[in-house]
Amino acid sequence: MKKHLRTDWMEKLKKLKGPKNWKDVYHVIILPHYREGFKIVKESLDSLINSDYPKEKLIVVLSFEERSGIEYSQIAKKFQSQYKSRFFEFLTVEHPGNIEGEIAGKGSNVAYAGRVLKEKIIDRLKIPYENILISTFDIDTKIYPQYFSCLTWYYLTEKNPTRASYQPIPVYNNNIWTASFFARVVSTSNTFWQMIQQERSEKLTTYSSHAIPAKVFFEVGYPSNVVCDDSRIFWRAYLYYNGNYRVVPIYYLVSMDAVDAPGTIKTIFNQYKQQKRWAWGCAEIPYVFFGFLKNKKIPFLKKVFHLHTLIDGYWSWATAALLLFVMGWLPLFLGGNKFNFTILSFNLPILTSRIMTVSLIGMMVSAILSAMLLPPVPKTISPLKKISVFVQWLFLPVTLIIFGSLPALDAQIRLMLGKYMGFWVTEKVRK
């Protein structure tokens, strides 16, 4: 990742030889907007302007919700008047709030914005779909300066570029210094997980802010009636192209917000709700399972591999932290008198204690790596806050249970009982 940040991707593009010229590649950025403040949207748009990719090749779509109210409609129009001359095209779209069969949320917003984009800009200007990459970003996503140059290089050097999505590494640095310690641990842990998945790309699916070839976006159709649209678009494309689809890992960064809200209690509730919404991705298991039953062209072993990865991932999410928590003392309660008089019973707490002590090494490594990912320290931050960046990892076991296992179990039990979730929008606050 550090190497990618140091690389001059624009220079690499200029030296790239092939059938396609990088100057022909357009980037569409769809930003779904729902009651986020002016400052948040402005910072995201400014990060696009500050990128090194030619602005005459960037098309920005700010898609706001009708149900937000007239205030946010006016904010969207204000952005259009301020930024329309800064990009090749700047389109504002009002997503109706009463479309039948839709679940209100990011997916339905992006899908509708894509249809308007296709009609009003792409088809009108007759831009070839193969020359367009569509980035679906959360509204708080701020790109690092060479993101589009790096993305374009990967797209042009990929063997089958229109049969792949492109996934950067998400970090949560926008407000990391003002966020609560548990929100920092959760967000950094999520970044580590994504970095691990990048190293085993055969298991990688799209997550949050990512890029899709326009050909795939319009041919497959972006999902408009699901909560977890980020992963669903991958599985939809995977089934549509009979398994001939993958995610290309990009070791470059995009930055978003860690969960933050006015007051610690509300931040705790918001963090839990966000994790529960992410854990609702377990709904992909039945979708993929029945999709595999219907599709006879995908090899059987591939089906087994992906289903095992999905089931194991969500099962581990809900149970691993709890199992680690109880493994030392639970056998003593369940073993009965005969077990409690054995040598194993006597040594079990000691063995567990030693395992936990060794695991502190992992926490130390996490603390060091997380510090390497942090942005420069603002002058307003106290020395105590800097120390807390390391101390926060001592609370990892508790954090993994409260903001890991419990919301995952919550989501899975809801799915099992048919108590289906809608899309919950994480509140965005900048202090």
DSSP label at residue 388: H
Does residue 355 lie in a domain region? no
Query: What are the residues whose beta carbons fall under 8 Å from the beta carbon of 213, sequence distance 6 or more?
Result: 129, 130, 132, 133, 134, 155, 161, 162, 164, 165
Q: Is 412 helix (H, G, I), strand (E, B) or coil?
A: helix
DSSP label at residue 397: H
Rounded Cα distance between 171 and 186, Å, is: 11
Does residue 180 lie in a domain region? yes
- Name which of 4, 428, 53 is nearest 195 in CA terms: 4
The tens digit of pLDDT for each residue in 221-254 reads 999 888 999 999 999 999 999 999 999 999 999 9
Q: Which helix (H) or strand (E) holds 218?
A: helix 214-220
* Cα 222 → chain centroid: 16
Q: What is the CATH number of the domain that holds 218?
A: 3.90.550.10
Q: Which residues of the chain fall short of a pLDDT of 50?
A: none
Rounded Cα distance between 235 and 30, Å, is: 20
Does residue 212 lie in a domain region? yes
Does residue 338 lie in a domain region? no
Does residue 91 lie in a domain region? yes
- What is the predicted pLDDT for the residue at 371? 87
Does residue 80 lie in a domain region? yes
Residue 401: Cβ-neighbour burial (10 angstroms; 0-12, 13-18, 19+): middle
Does residue 427 lie in a domain region? no
Q: What would you report as the CA-atom Rg of the chain, rounded to the nearest whole angstrom?
A: 23
Give the total number of structural domains in the chain: 1
Domain that holds residue 16: 2-264
Amino acid letter, 143: I
Q: Is 300 helix (H, G, I), strand (E, B) or coil?
A: helix
Query: What are the residues whose beta carbons fall under 8 Å from the beta carbon of 163, sequence distance 6 or more?
Result: 216, 241, 244, 245, 246
pTM equals: 0.93
Does residue 413 lie in a domain region? no
